[in-house]
Structure 1
Amino acid sequence: MKLEHLLMGVLATRPRTGYDLKKAIDTQLRFLRSNTQMSQVYRTLATMEDRGWAEHTVEPRPGATDAKRYALTEEGVTVFLDWLTGPYTPPTRYEDPEFHARLAFAGFMTREQLLRLFDTEISVRTEEIRTFRHRDRTEHRDPATELDVELADFMNDAVHYANAAAKDAYVARLTRLREVLATADDLEAARQNLTPEHYTVEVDS
């Protein structure tokens, strides 16, 4: 996921200044990208303008620096939607924000497109669990210095089981959310159930 995708998604909702874009990334999109610098925002906006994806107007501000307000061009909208609704290849790590970046702009998709996105993510992660959950994790050791083997084995297993449970819970949450999307006639009513408690899933150890 590139910064330009997030900026295009935010601009797709309405034109904004560079400051407004930075604020949106630091608040609404905080879990997708942290520590974004203003210089990165303006550098990416300049690249988007060079490519014809965005344009800006200057807003005079008496007594202060004039502000540039950025908006997507028609080509920029096309590029954004092509990324959002185009083929999705899940990254190697499910923790990477590529999938959730698309969810952040789900309102620009149809429900059918969104369901296909869920299906891809759930299918790939389920296959990863099937393939790697019981892999041979035996390690041949020839330590270069003193090694506490019992401690190393304990922590390796503890981390493995914790990560496995987290991935199971992730797939279970997506499966539950997909079911709601597929069956709910009234999404506004369904939204009232979107609490952390409602989407906490107990996974057998």
Structure 2
Amino acid sequence: MKKLECIILGRLATNPMSGYDLYKWMAKEAPYFGYSPKPPQIYRQLNDFHTKGWVEVTVDQRGSGPDAKVYTLTSAGVAAFVGWAMSEHTPTIRPLEADFQMRMLLGGVVSPQAAMDVLDTELKYRRRQQAESRPYEAPADLGEAAVPVDADWQAELVRMVGERSFLLGQSNLSWLEMAHARLAAYIEDHSNTDEQKSGEDEKCG
């Protein structure tokens, strides 16, 4: 499923919206998804959803302006969204790509366990990646460089940039570890609460 499809399905899953309202929301939240589509792209995608039977359209009569078409997910649209949200997560090579954040924010609303499945996959991948990471090394032999290069300065530059890459990866991994523990505690706590409620219902019956 394309990124724009996922974003629109994820937003409509929690709130019916017009195409213009979707555009305003996506323009504001673009940094979270690493993607900022133009209005024609959004409307084409909504029309495609309508053709597939994933959305139904109602007219919202707005007295202060022109009427707006409001898009609401149908049962088929909900099934498409849940299918994406519950599908296997594939981490990207670059640790700070927006794909993971988009999947957690939009797909994670299905259930805490759905979010945990995504988080668990991401965490395992980043653990391996960070353990195998090696600092980038400047070429030992510069040869006949087209641009005059000071070897000592290049080595220092490479060290600085390499440290940045390592620390960004380590910071991201630390957050994943913390979030994993926090979500696991949340799931366990709410599981115990549900069991208590179930026991009380049985007694009342």
What is the CA–CA distance in structure 1 between the aligned matches of 2:92 and 2:57, rounded to whole Å?
Answer: 33
The alpha carbon displacement at 1:9 in A equals: 0.8
Q: Over residues 132-170 of structure 1, what are the superposed CA-to-partner deviations in whole Å (9 max), with x where a residue is unaligned? A: 235x73524331231222222211111111110111111
> What's 1:24 paired with?
25
Query: Which deviates more from structure 2 when the two are superposed, residues 120-129 or residues 36-45?
Result: 36-45
Counterpart residue type for residue 174 of structure 2: A
What is the CA–CA distance in structure 2 between the aligned matches of 1:93 and 1:103, rounded to whole Å?
Answer: 17
Higher helix share: 2
Q: Over residues 58-101 of structure 1, what are the superposed CA-to-partner deviations in whole Å (9 max), with x where a residue is unaligned? A: 23445743211111121111111111111111011111111111
Corresponding pairs, count: 185
Residues 137-156 of structure 1: pairs in structure 2 closer than 5 A: 137-139=137-139, 140-142=141-143, 143-156=145-158
Query: Which deviates more from structure 2 when the two are superposed, residues 42-51 or residues 113-122?
Result: 42-51
> What's 2:80 paired with?
79
Q: Is the 8 A contact 1:10 1:24 kept in 2?
A: no
**Runs of 4+ with >6 A deviation:** none
Q: Is the 8 A contact 1:25 1:33 kept in 2?
A: no
Query: Which deviates more from structure 2 when the two are superposed, residues 76-85 or residues 41-50?
Result: 41-50
Q: Which has the larger radius of gyration?
A: 2
The alpha carbon displacement at 1:55 in A equals: 2.6
Residues 159-170 of structure 1: pairs in structure 2 closer than 5 A: 159-170=161-172
Q: Would the alpha carbon gap of residues 17 and 149 (structure 1) be closer, same or farther in structure 2, given more than 3 Å must change? A: same
What is the CA–CA distance in structure 2 between the aligned matches of 1:31 and 1:13, rounded to whole Å?
Answer: 17
Identity %: 28
What is the CA–CA distance in structure 1 between the aligned matches of 2:97 and 2:103, rounded to whole Å?
Answer: 12
Please report the TM-score for the alignment, with normalisation by the length of structure 2. Answer: 0.80
RMSD over equivalenced CA pairs, Å = 2.2
What is the CA–CA distance in structure 1 between the aligned matches of 2:102 and 2:43, rounded to whole Å?
Answer: 20
The unaligned stretches of length 5 or more in structure 2 are: 191-205
